Amino acid sequence: MNKQGLAKHTQAHDGRIPWLIIGAGPTGLGAARQLERCGCHDWLLLDAGTQPGGLAASFSDAKDFVWDIGGHVLFSHYDYFDQAMDEALTKDNWLSHRRESWIWMRDRFIPYPLQNNIHRLPPDDLNHCLQGLVDITRSPRPAPKNFKEWLEATFGPGLMDVFLQPYNFKVWAHQPEALNAKWVGERVAVTDLGKTLKRLVYQTDDSTWGPNNTFQFPRHGGTGSIWKACANRLPPDQILLNTRVAKLDIGRHIVTTTDGREFGYDRLISTMPLDDCLRISDQARFASLAEHGLLFSSSHIIGLGLQGKPRPDVAGKCWMYFPEDNCPFYRATVFSNYSPNNVPDINRYWSLMLEVSESQNRPVDSACVLEDVIQGALNTKLIERREDLVTTWHYRAGHGYPTPGLQRDEALAEIIPFLEQQDVYSRGRFGLWKYEVSNQDHSFMQGVELVERLVNGRKEITAFDADHANAVKHPWPFARWGNS
């Protein structure tokens, strides 16, 4: 880090920093990049971590295995994001993959999503699912009040019992009735009974559904290498790592770091979790709204580095879902398939990354989770022998998934405008708490679009119109902005 730059900014208390950013994840880096492009060079970015990337960072362990915080698949709804990615890594540094996503249940692999491939189920389960699908066509249900009701109305009781209820609880660590029904959008495949019957008769699979049926991954360094490269394109003395914000004085426009440094600002772009932001700024008035509106789950990521090769039926897969209770994880990624460089020698090793969700409703004992995951990997036949393990890795993300809870939108509608009146703009996966727009492309664009709004008066789309953000691939500038 450039000492002159640091000295300049630690003295900025009187002469406020025009743009202060908290967080060097995709959102903060998107904001910084767009500030530079708009000619606003007087910004400073603070991050508590040792490297840029936030939840999209990667880590190398002592045995040279590379790990992400859960299998990160890069998908883009935006031309702007594509350009930024092309700029970050050269063409040679990207690998392209066709999605191979599967479900392991009833001792077999079934292509994802299950609702499109129920013909692969054993007869009793198949019958139960089909009965449910017929029921819902016979007796349409009233508008759903929550995600559980939406699932029941859309898929019927059979699919709910067989897969959707257990799987969703495992992923969210909250019961589906605690989630709202509005976030769903493109993220859950709906079923067409006619097509389901045709696939049953002809025994054909549907594995093409979804927004991310092809994806790109960095050749070296995991997902985090993207965000390191993005950060490296910005002035280094304006990004202060190892700098945790401990206090936010909203009225006086000052943040204080854990080591006592103070930074005055004109505008604060905060990408730290919104509940933490309210806590460090002593906004007790929002305590109850935040407690009930800002539900979340934590994510345990377990990496298993193995010698040899995966079993043939695991070898070609990207990721797999696990709804049953014979393992604690809901998803496993064959991470060595994303890049051979995720393991030290692809001819000798392979790697798996497994995700376990945690909340007060689904407690996880950190001390036991590694062992439980290994046992689960054996139970589900993902790995054959414990002796093949050459390394293990465990990472706990306190804030992992922002739950789209029933009272979330109500809470955001009060908190976000209040903060904005005080020149605090909270954006990003946990800054805005909108799961439906919280992937890397969305988060990055939230940062970009916020700057466009504040500098050029343009309307933010990703943050406030998730359906439109997810509906099309967006040109740059956005079509909705017209010539403004």
Ligand X SMILES: Cc1cc2nc3c(=O)[nH]c(=O)nc-3n(C[C@H](O)[C@H](O)[C@H](O)COP(=O)(O)OP(=O)(O)OC[C@H]3O[C@@H](n4cnc5c(N)ncnc54)[C@H](O)[C@@H]3O)c2cc1C
- Helix 79-88 to helix 440-456 angle, to the nearest 10 degrees? 110
Question: Contact between 245 and ligand X (CB under 6 A)?
Answer: yes
- Minimum Å gap between C-beta 433 and ligand X is 10
Q: Are strands 262-270 and 424-426 parallel, antiparallel or unpaired?
A: parallel
Identified binder of ligand X from the candidate list 154, 299, 391, 426, rule CB under 6 A:
299
449 in contact with ligand X (CB under 6 A): no
Q: What angle do CA 403, 409, 410 make, to 5 degrees?
A: 125
Cα 371 to Cα 203: distance, rounded to the nearest angstrom: 38
397 binds ligand X (CB under 6 A): yes
Of the candidate spans 43-51, 203-211, 361-369, 418-426, the one that interacts with ligand X by CB under 6 A turns out to be 43-51
* Selected range binding ligand X among 159-167, 337-345, 386-394, 432-440, rule: CB under 6 A: 432-440
**Which of the ranges 20-28, 138-146, 182-190, 345-353 carries the binding residues for ligand X, by CB under 6 A?**
20-28
The C-alpha atoms of residue 475 and residue 224 are separated, in whole angstroms, by: 26
DSSP 388-439: GEEEEEEEEEEEEEE--BTTHHHHHHHHHHHHHHTTEEE-STTTT--GGG-S
Place of tokens 């956005």: 478
215 contacts 97 by C-beta, under 8 angstroms: yes
Q: Which of 72, 199, 253, 317 binds ligand X (CB under 6 A)?
A: 72
Tokens of 99: 């999605």
Using CB under 6 A, pick the residue from 31, 45, 66, 73 that binds ligand X.
73
Considering only residues 148 through 207, tell me which ones interact with ligand X, judged by CB under 6 A: none
Contact between 263 and 44 (Cβ < 8 Å) = yes
Q: Considering the rule CB under 6 A, would residue 46 count as an interface residue with ligand X?
A: yes
- Cβ 107 to ligand X shortest distance, Å: 26
Select the span of 19-27, 97-105, 166-174, 366-374 touching ligand X (CB under 6 A).
Answer: 19-27
Region label for 259, one of left (φ > 0), alpha (ψ between -120 and 50) or beta (otherwise): alpha
Exactly one of 17, 20, 21, 23 binds ligand X (CB under 6 A); that residue is 23
Interface segment toward ligand X; rule CB under 6 A; list 105-113, 124-132, 269-277, 358-366: 269-277
The residue ranges that bind ligand X (CB under 6 A) are 22-28, 46-49, 54-56, 69-70, 72-74, 244-245, 271-272, 276, 299, 355, 397, 400, 428-431, 438-440, 443
